[in-house]
């Protein structure tokens, strides 16, 4: 094996009897699971109900996959509706081809519907869940490696990826190694996730500002990565469609960050119901939040309830017990003396 470049996997599909197991699908599923795990931990630290993320995922994941596929088909129509295209291939999600903008857009719609069903504030949930999205994207990009797709221009370097001739883009058949743009994006996404986590810990984002920061960071990286890719795509003015999308999204995201103010919200219990309060409010502190988050495994109000119980016990212990000696006995009649009733002899 020539270690002067990154080799591509020789297989992307394995068969379990008649059932095909596709690496691309496994990467997508792994990304979704990790994103849900991160979202669950962050939502729980803000006092959300246990496993609320699973109810949200039921809405967000199908919407996101449908949106991603629609975006890919619309922006790469020749492969499906061109002279040599196959319209039925538009449904073949397992063969690759998901557009991130469509996934985020329709996935957000699905999450909004899920929040309405659960009675959760959408902006609060979105800010809590967003760091898991770039991590999921990073894992999903490994599926492009297995499919030998979404690579960039020819490259002669040790980090270049080798592409089999059957998977090379027309016009580049004589080249063997290319920019691994899927790897660039995966690494960039992990960096975006790290920045989001650190920034949110520092500034306690609210009102969708963490989502805006994600959009600004991700699409900044996507602009230059997209410029390296050679797979067919719509474009104008020397830029690919996704580069134009990057410019628009980054401008809107930065404008949002500069104009919208908002701080993290958390849940506290009020009469058994969860209500939303600022992370640094007295209610949040009384409910047990420390620096805007609950201790691991705690529920909002656990510490407050424990404090109330301890206070009640202290008041009970402070009351002095009534000793039996202090009981005042009822007066009883005394027995008459032995000589009672007799006449006294004075002689």
Q: What is the pLDDT of residue 3?
A: 59
Helix axes 132-147, 23-45, angle to 10 degrees: 170
Q: Percentage of the chain with pLDDT > 70?
A: 85
Tell me, what's the pLDDT at 21? 92
Q: What is the mean pLDDT of the chain?
A: 87
**Residue spans of beta strands (DSSP E) within 7-122:** 13-16, 19-22
Q: How many CA atoms lie within 13 A of 232 on its CB side?
A: 13
Average pLDDT rounded to a whole number, residues 206-224: 97
Give the global pTM: 0.83
How far apart are alpha carbons 144 and 163 in whole angstroms?
12
pLDDT tens for residues 44-72? 999 999 999 999 999 999 999 999 999 98
Q: Is the pLDDT of residue 334 over 60?
A: no
The model's confidence at residue 186, banded by pLDDT at 50, 70 and 90, is: very high
Q: Cα–Cα distance between 9 and 255 in angstroms, integer?
A: 42
Q: Is the model's pLDDT at 333 over the cut of 80?
A: no
pLDDT at 139: 97
143 pLDDT exceeds 90? yes
Q: Which of 18-32, 86-100, 154-168 has the lowest mean pLDDT?
A: 86-100
**Which segments within 210-339 are labelled E, that is strand?**
235-236, 239-240, 265-270, 273-278
* CA distances (Å), origin 134, targets 96, 166, 241, 291: 18, 30, 21, 25
Contact criterion met (CB below 8 Å) for 118 and 56: yes
Q: How confident is the model at residue 317, as a pLDDT?
A: 54
pLDDT digits (tens, 9 = 90+) for 267-322: 999 888 899 999 999 999 999 999 999 998 777 866 555 445 544 554 555 555 55
With tokens 């996997």, the residue in question is: 9
The confidence score (pLDDT) of residue 2 equals 53
- Binned at pLDDT 50, 70 and 90, residue 78 comes out as confident
Whether residue 9 has pLDDT greater than 50:
yes
């Amino acid at each position: 094996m020539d270690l002067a470049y990154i080799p591509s996997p020789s297989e992307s599909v394995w068969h379990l009897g008649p059932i095909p197991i596709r690496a691309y699908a496994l990467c997508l599923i792994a990304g979704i699971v990790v994103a849900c795990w991160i979202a669950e931990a962050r939502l729980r630290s803000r006092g959300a109900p246990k496993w609320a993320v699973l109810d949200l995922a039921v809405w967000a994941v199908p919407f996101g996959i449908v949106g991603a596929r629609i975006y890919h088909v619309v922006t790469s129509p020749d492969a499906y509706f061109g002279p040599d295209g196959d319209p039925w291939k538009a449904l073949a999600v397992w063969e690759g081809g998901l557009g991130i903008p469509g996934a985020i857009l329709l996935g957000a719609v699905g999450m909004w519907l899920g929040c309405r069903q659960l009675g959760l504030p959408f902006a609060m949930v979105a800010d809590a869940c967003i760091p898991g999205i770039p991590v999921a994207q990073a894992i999903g990009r490994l599926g492009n490696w297995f499919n030998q797709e979404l690579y960039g221009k020819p490259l002669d370097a040790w980090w270049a990826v080798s592409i089999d001739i059957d998977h090379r883009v027309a016009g580049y058949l004589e080249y063997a190694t290319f920019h691994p743009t899927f790897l660039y994006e995966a690494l960039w996404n992990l960096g975006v996730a790290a920045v989001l986590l650190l920034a949110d810990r520092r500034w306690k984002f609210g009102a969708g500002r963490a989502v805006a920061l994600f959009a600004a960071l991700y699409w900044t990286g996507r602009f230059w990565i997209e410029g390296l890719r050679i797979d067919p795509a719509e474009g104008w003015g020397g830029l690919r469609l996704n580069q134009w999308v990057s410019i628009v999204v980054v401008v809107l995201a930065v404008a949002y960050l500069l104009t919208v103010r908002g701080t993290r919200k958390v849940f506290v219990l009020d009469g058994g119901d969860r209500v939303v309060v600022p992370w640094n409010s007295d209610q949040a502190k009384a409910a047990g939040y420390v620096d805007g988050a609950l201790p691991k495994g705690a529920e909002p109000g656990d510490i407050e309830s424990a404090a109330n119980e301890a206070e009640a016990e202290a008041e009970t212990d402070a009351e002095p017990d009534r000793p039996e000696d202090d009981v005042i006995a009822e007066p009883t009649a005394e027995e008459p003396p032995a000589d009672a009733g007799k006449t006294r002899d004075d002689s």
